[in-house]
Amino acid sequence: MFSDKTILVTGGTGSFGKRFTRIVLEKYQPQKLIIFSRDELKQFEMRADFPEDAYPNIRYFLGDVRDKERLQRAFDGVDIVVHAAALKQVPAAEYNPLEAIRTNIMGAANVIDAAIDRGVERVIALSTDKAANPINLYGATKLCSDKLFIAANSYVGGHRTRFSVVRYGNVVGSRGSVIPFFQKMKATGKVPITDERMTRFWITLEQGVEFVLECLDLMEGGEIFVPKIPSMSIMDLARAIAPDCEYEFVGIRPGEKLHEVLVPEDDARRTLEFDNFFVIQPEFAFWNIEGTAYTNGKQCEDGFRFSSDSNTRWLSTEDLHSMIG
């Protein structure tokens, strides 16, 4: 479905965007792949890996999702949008709330309007486990963003645009991840740990990109896709990365949870289970899975909860080292 299509990635110079670019250019033949981001230095650095003379179908487009007019220009002729732009650092969002709101919520609204106005076929937005039952501002803004993208399917009118969301957990090795932080602190002989009871979901960049590509193919518009990914406790993570270090317990940071949730209990009644993922269905009167890829989904039991502490899949030390590479 990506052959001869024009694809645009917001936040395209981030960890996800760069891996998405590599995989799409290696496996598919898009007519054009547009990297949309606000950081000229990151675009300059990305050009070293993906120069336009070696990749004639790549384009670099400076812009901010806060700027609706710029999005209108960027989306002209675009078939598929992957919305990865966000302010995602939890403490930074707690202390700079309006900045997170302007990018994560108002930016999402701008992406939606520009996509509808420009006739984009498919838009998939990246979410986070922190958007499920959020307790921090980052999670709350991403929950708002998810709601906006799902609801957008109700007011596209006669336009062809469809919107869906992909929600997954922590990405191994991404910028801001605890894994590179632990690797850095290992050299000091002392590793700070927030709380020994903490658990998190984990996924690799490669797995995240492949899942997004799969969901772009499956999407009908209105779904939240959730991959079945493993958990790991923070103590097992620390022992795997820095086994000989001293562990210093520093307490939970503002806005952090002990455990993360990808499918809350209140969404279970609308959630279908498949071999490798869940689909949280929208509450649209017109939503109908008959004749789609979802007809064989298993309805989750009432009260079901996909949480990092009650997960049935857990990473071993060997699994983590394999994921880190």
Cα separation, 271 vs 224, whole angstroms: 9
Q: Write the DSSP assignment of 6-43 as a string of letters.
A: EEEEETTTSHHHHHHHHHHHHH---SEEEEEES-HHHH
**Below-70 pLDDT ranges, the chain:** 176
Strand runs labelled E in the chain? 6-10, 32-37, 58-62, 80-83, 122-128, 162-168, 170-171, 190-193, 199-203, 224-227, 231-233, 246-249, 261-263, 271-273, 277-280, 298-299, 306-307
Closest among 87, 143, 93, 111 to 9, alpha carbons compared? 111
Q: How far does CA 223 lie from the centroid of its chain?
A: 14
**Residue pLDDT, tens place only, 66-96:** 999 999 999 999 999 999 999 998 889 999 9
Given this model, what pLDDT does residue 53 score? 92
The reported pTM is 0.94
Given this model, what pLDDT does residue 176 score? 67
Supply 108's token pair.
């999402």
Phi, psi of 144 (to 5 degrees): -60, -45
298 assigned to active site: no
Phi, psi of 232 (to 5 degrees): -155, 140
Beta-carbon neighbour count of residue 152 at 10 Å? 24
Supply 83's token pair.
């919305």
CATH code for residues 6-169+204-228+262-305: 3.40.50.720
Contact 93, 253 (CB under 8 A): no
Task: Delimit the domains of the chain by residue range.
Answer: 6-169+204-228+262-305
> End-to-end alpha-carbon separation of the chain, Å?
30
Contact 134, 175 (CB under 8 A): no
Q: Fill in the amino acid letter for 2.
A: F
Given this model, what pLDDT does residue 172 score? 86
The one catalytic residue in 18, 42, 88, 130 is 130
| SS3 assignment, position 249 | strand
